[in-house]
Chain A
Amino acid sequence: MERDLVIIGGGPAGLAAAIEAKKNGIDDILILERDKRLGGILQQCIHNGFGLHVFKEQLTGPEYAQRFIDEVEALGIDYKLETMVLHLSKDKRITALNPKDGLIEIKAKAIILAMGCRERTRGALNIPGSRPAGIFTAGSAQRFVNMEGYMVGKKVVILGSGDIGLIMARRMTLEGAEVKMVVEIMPYSTGLKRNIVQCLEDFDIPLLFNHTVTKIHGKHRVEGVTIARVNENKRPIEGTEKFVECDTLLLSVGLIPENELSREADIDINPITNGAYVSELMETSVEGIFACGNVVHVHDLVDYVTMESYLAGYGAAKYIKGERIKWEKIFKTIAMKGIRYVVPNFICPQNIREEVNFYMRVNDVYKNVYLVVRDKKGVIYKIKKNHVSPGEMERIKLSKEILQRVDEELVFELKEVEE
């Protein structure tokens, strides 16, 4: 089969990319989604808080997704469900599998990667102890509770204060479980402030910073965990261990972009984000393969995913129509002091639509700093921030006009405010 544009992943990123590509004149689009329905991870996020930026209203995950699904349907964009992409090659060949068509081979003119991410598991953390039932990633617990209608435990400890963990703390409490505590190894939360308030504080669930789970107990089912305070190097401090009785441990310890296919296609991956390096139009290092959403870097707000994905859809459309300018004069973005990473990573000014949104995360909590953007010649942009945290993504919008004048490189960094 030959297709103009194939989008891998039918979550918010893939849907928005498809819509925008269609609106920019591409008709032959196919979305491949491995789940039974479109919408991705949003389908299991039945709480509020989506869409504030894009729709200026508070929607649940499924509601937010539905708006895009409806639009995809209205535009007549083709999709295949329960379809898992098994292989992806550099020359844009895809092998996929589903129960209806069996094995599918597709050659695409352009591809958009929108596979999202997966949760880090116990193994990746290497938590010592026994290996009983009752250890869940927050996402799989969420799936059981919200989509299947089953409870996963009665006395719960949550490791990691990521958003899914926080939301599950509230959900499990409302379902009658006792959530004993949330344990966070960092001195700050990686979740959104509003989730800490609405999901923990409102239910009197303690949040312990600088603590981690050092051991799991229980032969067949979890019977408890040992928690301990950690030092600056994140190592448990001897003598601070405490046993907490529980039957369930939920892990909300971060997400990893799902880039096995990208690696197979030889796409360059940024070791910091674990996602592809991308251009101003969200194009990866392999020409004609674009990427957007959590597969590029983990977002905390779906609204930003949507905006980024519109851009990828627009970029892919340009590429297919032969209007995407070959990268000649390009410059790189560089994350320096206090900034962990910036997306996008390289910019070809001629291709910029109107502006570029730069998304970044800081590497620690800082108070009273300037977020500074500069090139070889000097400061281009500067904004004062009272409080920045790795848990909240920062965004800076720069216009095409400014970016056309950038000399060689664009550096992002934090500067202390002098009093």
Chain B
Amino acid sequence: MFDVIIVGAGIVGVSIARELSRYDLKCLVIEKSSDIANGSTKANSGILHAGYDAKEGTLKAKFNVLGSQMYEEICKELDVPYKRNGSLVLAFDDEDTKQIETLYERGLKNGVKELSIIDKNTLLSLEPNLQENVVGALYAKTAAIVSPFELAIALAENANENGVEFMLNTKVDKIYKEKDHFVIETNKGAFKSNYIVNAAGLFSDEINDMLGGEKFRIIPRRGEYCLFDKSSGNLVTRTIFQPPSKKGKGILVAPTVHGNLFVGPNAREIDIRDDVSTSREGIEEIIRGANRSVKNLNLRDIITSFAGVRATPSTGDFVINIPTKNAVNAAGIESPGLTAAPAIAPYVVSLLENQGLKLYKKANFINKRKNTKLFINMTEDEKRNALSVNSLYGRIICRCEHITEGDIVNAIKRPLGARTVDGVKKRVRAGMGRCQGGFCMPRVVEILSRELNVPMTEILKSEEGSYILTGRTK
């Protein structure tokens, strides 16, 4: 019997898990995918929005501003990259200028700090690669960037170090009440708990239905991206937005915390919720869009394209409520959900507490993760030390990102460690570089096979069915 079961190990589920791990509770996270952060949390813009977008009074606005203030500290505790690079919403004409003034006003009402409107000259001196026809911009100094999946994995690891259990490859099919507790049926058997949290992202309406909550629907909207090589990484230093229009929020041009550049996303409603395929038209659309903001975009530097799906709720705002007694929805968390997650988490915990969950602070809560530094990020002294205890740090496996075998073995051995090629990639970036795993993938398969002590043929790229090898040669 668990005190709390959380459905979904995206940024929302793991933020709640870590928050609950501060207390003396028996918690379980159930995730249908093979790894943490394989849903919306895997493929998004990774931007910690300042908070001028959402209408005042909405949950989006409230948690966005709060969350954005909490992240710097959290990233420090978990030793994950965080960069306050600031964001700009460009204006190209009078219409746009009115738009950014509206955003500015809204930002002030939402409590966003360090917000200003800047003129063309200031703008171009900050970002010389913008198109010349810009007329000004809204500048939000508090906007930041993170690596969303690294962040979610770090939160999950830390929750796990503090006692939260995780079941991966486990899909919730049915939930019912038995006496005063829930029974949660999955492909891996049934689990019981007193409280339940729905953080199932794109499928959170289905879980809400299982819980008998007031109806809402998730409208899946896909966004496509192109990722550029690090040699394009300093085309811009701030996150560049376009003014919102009837057609949508526009296309972003932004640096990543690891020094790459990306452009995207567009927005298309799709039929299949987890269809993350890209399309030719989509890619052309985002490149066209990006060229409106910046000049000198070097298409030869594109190293990959990908897509993510937004869990847009039919209600228009985050669905954070009580679907049935002893349950909490944290559903329909679309953008700015990544930013909002650390603020949503304590709120969800308070909703559980209001319903009777007893919270006793753990004396021995560990708020820091250990042993997480990549070789490449170490100081010279740290490098020499690391090498003297573990010679695997001396062998580079991913040439593009300079990731060593020591780093990869760490990624496998850490709490909730990597079990798949994509799991290694998400944790330590092997295969994220310009050759996209062309060189290191076979070696990563070998290392996984050796460390997990399973045959090479059983190593998967990601989900069940994503086998890489089909057998031995003759």
Contact = CB atoms under 8 A, between A and B. Distances in A.
Contacts of B283: 126, 128
B438 A151 contact: no
A93 interface: no
B450 interface: no
Given A118-B439, A220-B466, A103 B302 contact: no
Interface string A121-165: 111101011111110110110011100111111100000000000
A150 B394 contact: no
Interface stretch (B49-57, B67-75, B365-373, B456-464): B456-464
Interface in B431-449: 435-439, 441-442, 446
Contacts of B315: none
B399 A84 contact: yes
Nearest to B455: A150
Classify the interface of chain B: helix, strand, loop or mixed: mixed
User: What range describes how many residues of B lie at the interface?
Assistant: 35 or more
A408 interface: no
B320 interface: no
Contact of B279 (A97, A124, A128, A145): A128
A82 interface: yes
A121 B468 CA distance: 17
Contact of A99 (B395, B435, B441): B395
Given A132-B466, A150-B471, A84 B396 contact: yes
Nearest to A152: B469
B465 A220 contact: yes
B439 A150 contact: no
Given A102-B384, A118-B439, A123-B303, A149 B391 contact: no
B176 interface: no
Classify the interface of chain A: helix, strand, loop or mixed: mixed
A119 B474 contact: no
A139 B462 CA distance: 22
Contacts of A236: 280
B469 A150 contact: yes
User: What range describes how many residues of A lie at the interface?
Assistant: 35 or more
A219 interface: yes
B463 A98 contact: no
Contact of A148 (B393, B402, B456, B463): B456
B364 interface: no
A175 interface: yes
Given A126-B302, A137-B438, A152 B468 contact: yes
B439 A123 contact: no
A86 interface: yes
A133 B445 CA distance: 12
A133 B304 contact: no
A133 to B, nearest CB: 4
B396 A34 contact: yes
B465 A219 contact: yes
Contacts of A101: 394
B388 A86 contact: no
Given A132-B466, A143-B442, A214-B280, A98 B394 contact: yes
Contact of A126 (B226, B391, B439): B226
Interface in B358-407: 380, 383-384, 387-388, 391-396, 399, 402, 404
A332 to B, nearest CB: 25
B472 A151 contact: yes
With a 10 A CB-CB cut-off, give which of A34, A100, A131, A144 has the most chain B CB atoms: A131
22 contacts: A97-B394, A98-B394, A98-B395, A99-B393, A100-B394, A103-B380, A103-B383, A121-B436, A128-B305, A133-B462, A133-B467, A134-B468, A137-B438, A143-B442, A148-B442, A149-B472, A150-B456, A150-B469, A220-B461, A220-B464, A221-B466, A236-B280
Smallest CB-CB A-B distances: 3 pairs: A123-B304, A220-B465, A99-B394
Interface of A: 34, 82, 84, 86, 97-103, 118-119, 121-124, 126, 128-134, 136-137, 139-140, 143-145, 148-154, 175-176, 214-216, 219-221, 236, 247, 263
